[in-house]
Structure 1
Amino acid sequence: MKRGLKLTVNESNHVKSFRLNPANWLISKKLLDEWTIVHRLTGKPRIIPAP
């Protein structure tokens, strides 16, 4: 699996809108319609819609 990248300010605000703590998530894949984020500790992926 690809390594995750640290969130930018705009990305962290978008992740906050899904009631997730942005400090615990990394961006793994950004597509036009969805983002794949990965939890820092557990490595569990989650797919959220792109803004």
Structure 2
Amino acid sequence: MKHGKRPTRNQKKSVIFAGLNPQNWLVFKKEGGQLHLVHRETGQTRVIPE
């Protein structure tokens, strides 16, 4: 699993806009206007626009 960090307030808004619960997702990379997320429990990854 990638080591993620808790999302900031602005990142939480992006996660909510993508239809995800920010309490379940961690940010492990910010790149090119995209957020790379990893799920806290399952380790599943997603890429959403920032």
Aligned length: 50
Say which structure, 1 or 2, has more relative contact order (CA 8 Å, 6+ apart): 2
TM-score (norm 2): 0.87
Give RMSD over aligned pairs. 1.2
Q: Matched residues, percent identical?
A: 44
Unaligned runs of 5+ in 2: none
State how 1:36-47 maps to structure 2 within 5 Å. Answer: 36-47=36-47
Please list the CA deviations of residues 4-51 of structure 1 after superposition, one character each: whole Å capped at 9, or x if unmatched: 00011111011000110000000011002321100000010001122x
Q: Equivalents in 2 of 1:49, 1:7: separation in Å? A: 14
| Rounded Cα–Cα distance in structure 2 between residues aligned with 1:7 and 1:47 | 14
Find runs of 4+ consecutive structure 1 residues off by over 6 angstroms. Answer: none
TM-score (ref. length: structure 1): 0.86
